[in-house]
Amino acid sequence: MTSKYKVVKTRSGTSKKVVVAGVKKVLYKKEGSTKLYVATKGKMMNIVKYKKLKSTKTTKSTKKR
């Protein structure tokens, strides 16, 4: 069984990573799509939605103080 997601590589051949809310995440790309994804809790999530989710959680936790 092959996955429909592939790791995004840099020019040097290493996996491309992005830092979201202080955590390094490896970027993935779906076959036939230009969208980028990250693996979270065993599932793939669109990077735009993931960043939005993490930013709302951090703002909610700071408002409680």
CB of 35 closer than 8 Å to CB of 29: yes
Burial of 44 (0-12, 13-18, 19+ CB in 10 A): middle
Please write the tens of the pLDDT for every residue from 24-40. 999 999 999 999 999 99
Confidence of residue 8 (pLDDT cuts 50, 70, 90): very high
User: With the C-alpha atoms ordered 41, 13, 11, 35, is the resulting torsion angle positive or negative?
Assistant: negative
pTM of the model as a whole: 0.78
> Taking 90 as the threshold, does the pLDDT of residue 59 lie above it?
no
> Taking 80 as the threshold, does the pLDDT of residue 50 lie above it?
yes
Distance CA 3, CA 13 (A): 20
